[in-house]
């Protein structure tokens, strides 16, 4: 009898453990965890700044991000005046630059483009903003350790709530282009594990569309 009772208690414990596991599994069906995801902006032009001066790097970074010579940033482009302003007031802050870029700008062919520009200070940078912008195939301008980079990709974990559709992200790395260089130094990264977020001064989101769209 003693042996039978011990086996019964053991079997009962296993049953409750299995029931608990099944309950947790049922509860976890409401969310999906996706580890080590990656997103990159495709087909960015391979441009190198004519000098390492901040204004030259800024103009080249904007040209890479907007990827349209009629829009940015050479002679007769829509943003020529804005970039010239940045050069004349160098070193211009990302906040000032955002205000200058924001709005409607005439094109050389008589049309116009509307630029949506948002400056995001370090304290307001969120993983969701970065991932969503990159997924829309828009690179960002980021200032890190007082240097300007093109933020073109990221690696991250994603937790998706299947009921509400809400998504939470944990970024591991930011993939960056340094317009100052054309060699192996051109591609670099911000690593959350080893780099200090406080060294990021802020970032800028940019989007240009034809006027009327």
Q: What is the DSSP string of 94-106?
A: HHHHHHHHSEEEE
Task: Specify if 18 maps to a domain.
Answer: no
Question: Rounded to whole angstroms, how far apart are CA atoms 117 and 134?
Answer: 15
Task: Specify if 1 maps to a domain.
Answer: no
Question: Rounded to whole angstroms, how far apart are CA atoms 134 and 129?
Answer: 9
Question: Rounded to whole angstroms, how far apart are CA atoms 81 and 88?
Answer: 10
Name the domain count of the chain: 1
Task: Specify if 14 maps to a domain.
Answer: no
Closest CA to 199 of 145, 122, 130, 160: 145
Task: Specify if 24 maps to a domain.
Answer: no
Tens digits of pLDDT across the chain (213 residues): 444 344 344 443 433 344 344 344 444 568 899 999 999 999 999 999 999 988 889 999 999 999 998 899 888 889 988 877 776 766 788 999 999 899 999 888 888 999 999 999 999 999 999 999 999 999 999 999 999 999 999 999 999 988 888 899 999 999 999 999 999 999 999 999 999 989 999 999 999 998 865
Which residues, in sequence order, are bridge partners of residue 143?
A: 148, 202
DSSP string, 137-194: T--EEEEETTEEEEEEEEEEEEEEETTT--EEEEEEEEEEE-TT-SSTTSEEEEETTT
Task: Specify if 167 maps to a domain.
Answer: yes
Task: Specify if 3 maps to a domain.
Answer: no
Place of tokens 């007769």: 76
Q: What is the CATH number of the domain that holds 192?
A: 3.90.70
Question: Rounded to whole angstroms, how far apart are CA atoms 86 and 39?
Answer: 30
Note the pTM of the prediction, 2 decimals: 0.82
Length of the chain equals: 213
Is there a contact between 202 and 120 (Cβ–Cβ < 8 Å)?
yes
Question: Rounded to whole angstroms, how far apart are CA atoms 57 and 76?
Answer: 19
Task: Specify if 199 maps to a domain.
Answer: yes
Note down the domain range covering 39: 31-210
Task: Specify if 67 maps to a domain.
Answer: yes
For residue 4, the tally of other CB atoms under 10 A from its CB is: 8
């Amino acid at each position: 009898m003693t042996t039978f009772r011990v086996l019964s208690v053991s079997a009962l414990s296993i049953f409750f453990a299995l029931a608990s596991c099944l309950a947790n599994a049922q509860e976890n069906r409401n969310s999906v965890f996706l580890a080590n995801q990656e997103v990159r902006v495709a087909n960015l032009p391979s441009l190198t700044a004519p000098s390492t001066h901040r204004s030259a790097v800024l103009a080249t970074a904007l040209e890479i991000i907007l990827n349209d010579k009629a829009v940015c940033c050479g002679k007769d482009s829509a943003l020529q005046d804005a970039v010239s302003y940045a050069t004349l007031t160098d070193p211009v802050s990302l906040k000032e630059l955002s205000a200058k870029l924001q709005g409607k700008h005439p094109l050389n062919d008589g049309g116009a483009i509307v630029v949506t520009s948002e400056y995001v200070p370090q304290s307001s940078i969120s993983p969701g903003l970065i991932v969503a912008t990159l997924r829309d195939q828009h690179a960002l301008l980021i200032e890190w350790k007082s240097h300007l980079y093109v933020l073109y990709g990221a690696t991250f974990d994603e937790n998706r709530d299947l009921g509400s559709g809400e998504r939470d992200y944990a970024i591991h790395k930011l993939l960056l282009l340094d317009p100052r260089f054309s060699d192996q130094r051109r591609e670099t990264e911000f690593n959350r594990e080893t780099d200090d977020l406080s060294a990021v001064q802020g970032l800028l989101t940019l989007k240009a569309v034809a006027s009327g769209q």
